[in-house]
Structure 1
Amino acid sequence: MGAVLTALGTLTAVVVAGWVLGRLRILGPHASAVLARLVFTVATPALLLVSIGRTDLHVLASRAALATWTSTAAVAVVAALVLRFALRRDAGDVTLGTLASSYVNAGNLGLALAVFLLGDPVAAVPTLLFQLLVLAPIAFTVLDAHRDGTGATSPQPAAPRARLDPRPDADARDLAPDDGTDPPPPGGARRVAAALRATLRRTLTNPIIVGTLTGLVLAALPWELPDVVYGPFELVGATAAPLALLTFGMSLAVPAADRERAPRADLTLAVVLRSVVHPALAALVATAFGLHGEARLAVVAMAALPTAQNVLVYAIQYGRGQALARDAGLVTTLLALPVLLVVTALL
């Protein structure tokens, strides 16, 4: 387990450096938000373009990939259903809570674990691709759709009150919702077309989705691009992981009295799903798909990883679920070593 200790030690050192920077306010009071925006709009898209662009997409057809995608999707669906219908959270909180429960640190800890424990970095690729191609685009689409005028994700609004016309002959056409917006265009087809255009516009203007789609196009090309093309993106993308960890450390530097606290039920759900349910479910699914030995260990080890620090970056970017993303990342990271030790001992 030297690989796990080395990877966790490296992550911890960078987080501590971020905590020191935040505690001493060396970078100013808004450094955490600025770094989060830099990671979201520049560093992570560049990293995704390079990582996916150099990936052999045939890895998605393996049984290990299918087991990974099935177990992760199941955890995400369970988290979303519990948050929405049992805990009555709105769309923004459901989305961030789902990410905290299912989005793992495959890019940093996962790759290191795959190399040192399994001897093959490809073991982390199915997890990375599912998160980048499925979880992230869905989450960003929902969060972008619920932004308010300030750029933060807004809670569900109350139903608008009708504007009553005092005239006695007022008909139904005069009873329009007074929400400050223009009425929708007539006709169901036009409304659907407008909604589709808005969704497409939000999707194509999200930096991370753009980076992912560009990487997919490059990976599908029948030829390899020269390294000189990837070079600038690779250089910028290399800053994504350390900057995300520094941002995480800065978020922990805020005095406890001033920090927003994550709802206990939401945090408990995220930690249980992340550190207990997902590894156990991944083991069952991998066995059902006929995986044994190192192939099954790879699937379960990736499922046992802690919540990714990028979830906090996304929470800061959209202004929702920051406390949950921070606390889930901290607690699941502390639990990662014992959980991985148990997984390795059993499998």
Structure 2
Amino acid sequence: MLAAFVPIWVLTGLGWLTGRRGLLGGEAERVLGGFVFHLAMPAALFTALSRTELDVRLPALGAFAASTAATMALAFVLCAVTRRRAGGEATIGAMAAGYVNSANLGIPVALQVLGDATFLTGVLLFQVLVVTPVVLVLLDRSAGRAWRPGRLLTLPLRNPVIAGPALGALCAALHWRPPELIGAPLALLGAAAVPTALVTLGLSLTAGSRAAGPPAGDRPVPHAGPPVGTGPPAPDPPASGGVAATGAVVAVRAVPAVDGEAGSTDGEVTAGVPATGGGSRGGGAKMEVALLSGLKLLVQPVIAWSVGRLVGVTGTDLLALVVCAALPTAQNTYIFAREYGRAEVVARETVVVTTACAMGTLALIGALLG
């Protein structure tokens, strides 16, 4: 099982080291995140699903779906009520608590613990074709866009993260393999999705140090204000995406137009947060990360086991169900948070914490149910 986790830790660490040294510049996180969301991830999901035999075990998959819905609903309510999170931020919190890493980590873990990854097919289909559209609709609404039934029906056509796996599942259902002229470029593009997402995650871990800038002695001298005694000095020009304020920065982040519309500026607004972004890293954020990590690694597997036993799932299917429910948070959660500008710190750190701790909980589940 360790072999399944090591590449994730190594690539995330590589991204962190790259960010610390500033090798890719200040825009690397934004550019790489957009590349994963709009190009690489859709291609990866299309390739994976188009090459997979669809074998859906309904009782076990139904129990998994119930555990996902219950955990995400609980996380949404807790984030919205107890943590005072807005709708978009609560949606990312719900995704962090219930959206499992079913692809790049789930498959090797399933092979190690279960001996095959058949059950992961249904889990992957459920997450990308049911959960992802719901999450994107909620994030879309948090950006201030009016909801209309037609927008929901055309969401797969407007969003590559849904269109890719939907087309892949259709190919699998029809037993049609795309010709090499189409499949080979998509497979090559999709192969970049997971490593790029992990490097982007690592880059995000250095966001605070990059925001703080170079040491004072290395910073350029700001433009001169009026002479002493003639009035207050002129404020430094605000950074892109920020508005200067006394002792604080009000960050207004544009929400991307993932459906072809113009971007909105009613994104995440954080008032009174120091320029280093420390407000997002305080005790409140740590408590929220701990809460969401507990829901992901402990509560969701318990719910999955309970519902599975209730509907008669036993043996290897029960083990597969609980193992899949105990997988850590998918890095897609951070990619979505980064793309929409919602709860990025919480999403990122929940991915890191659950990935670091999941090996212990998965080993315990294997020992108890295996």
Under a length normalisation based on structure 2, what TM-score does the superposition of the two structures give?
0.75
Cα distance in 2 for residues equivalent to 1:76 and 1:52:
24
Determine the structure 1 residue equivalent to 2:31. Answer: 34
Inter-CA distance 11–223: structure 2 relative to 1 (3 Å threshold):
closer
Tell me whether 16-25 or 117-126 shows the greater mean CA deviation: 117-126
The AA in structure 1 aligned to 2:94 is: T
1:246 to 182, 190, 199: 199
Cα distance in 2 for residues equivalent to 1:227 and 1:288:
45
Cα distance in 2 for residues equivalent to 1:82 and 1:90:
11
Shift in Å at residue 310 of structure 1? Answer: 1.5
The AA in structure 2 aligned to 1:107 is: A
1:103 to 99, 104, 123: 99
**Residues 1:81 and 2:102 are matched in the alignment:** no
Cα distance in 1 for residues equivalent to 2:304 and 2:151:
36
Determine the structure 2 residue equivalent to 1:327. Answer: 349
Q: Is the 8 A contact 1:67 1:286 kept in 2?
A: yes
The AA in structure 2 aligned to 1:234 is: A
Determine the structure 2 residue equivalent to 1:144. Answer: 140
Q: Give structure 2 stretches of 5+ with no counterpart.
A: 213-275
Larger relative contact order (CA 8 Å, sep ≥ 6): 1
2:62 to 54, 58, 66: 66
**Residues 1:291 and 2:317 are matched in the alignment:** no
Inter-CA distance 25–288: structure 2 relative to 1 (3 Å threshold):
same
Tell me whether 15-24 or 250-259 shows the greater mean CA deviation: 250-259
The AA in structure 2 aligned to 1:44 is: M
Determine the structure 1 residue equivalent to 2:169. Answer: 216
Cα distance in 2 for residues equivalent to 1:26 and 1:87:
36
Shift in Å at residue 255 of structure 1? Answer: 4.1
Cα distance in 1 for residues equivalent to 2:155 and 2:181:
31
Shift in Å at residue 266 of structure 1? Answer: 2.8
2:129 to 101, 108, 133: 133
Inter-CA distance 145–199: structure 2 relative to 1 (3 Å threshold):
farther
2:331 to 303, 306, 309: 309
Cα distance in 2 for residues equivalent to 1:6 and 1:281:
28
Cα distance in 1 for residues equivalent to 2:22 and 2:314:
50
Under a length normalisation based on structure 1, what TM-score does the superposition of the two structures give?
0.80
Shift in Å at residue 13 of structure 1? Answer: 0.8
The AA in structure 2 aligned to 1:121 is: A
Shift in Å at residue 60 of structure 1? Answer: 2.7
The AA in structure 2 aligned to 1:77 is: A
Determine the structure 2 residue equivalent to 1:18. Answer: 15
Shift in Å at residue 270 of structure 1? Answer: 0.8
Q: Is the 8 A contact 1:106 1:302 kept in 2?
A: yes
2:361 to 328, 339, 342: 339
Inter-CA distance 123–202: structure 2 relative to 1 (3 Å threshold):
closer
Cα distance in 1 for residues equivalent to 2:207 and 2:295:
27
The AA in structure 2 aligned to 1:337 is: M
Q: Give structure 1 stretches of 5+ with no counterpart.
A: 154-190
Cα distance in 2 for residues equivalent to 1:320 and 1:222:
39
- Listed as ranges, the matches of 1:155-170 within 5 Å are none
- Provide, for residues 93-116 of structure 1, a one-character-per-residue CA deviation record: whole Å limited to 9, x for no partner: 111001100111111111111122
2:301 to 276, 279, 295: 279
Alpha carbon RMSD of aligned pairs, Å? 2.2
Inter-CA distance 255–223: structure 2 relative to 1 (3 Å threshold):
closer
Shift in Å at residue 300 of structure 1? Answer: 0.9
Determine the structure 1 residue equivalent to 2:46. Answer: 49
Q: How many residues align?
A: 300
Cα distance in 2 for residues equivalent to 1:60 and 1:277:
24
Determine the structure 2 residue equivalent to 1:196. Answer: 149
Q: Is the 8 A contact 1:145 1:199 kept in 2?
A: no
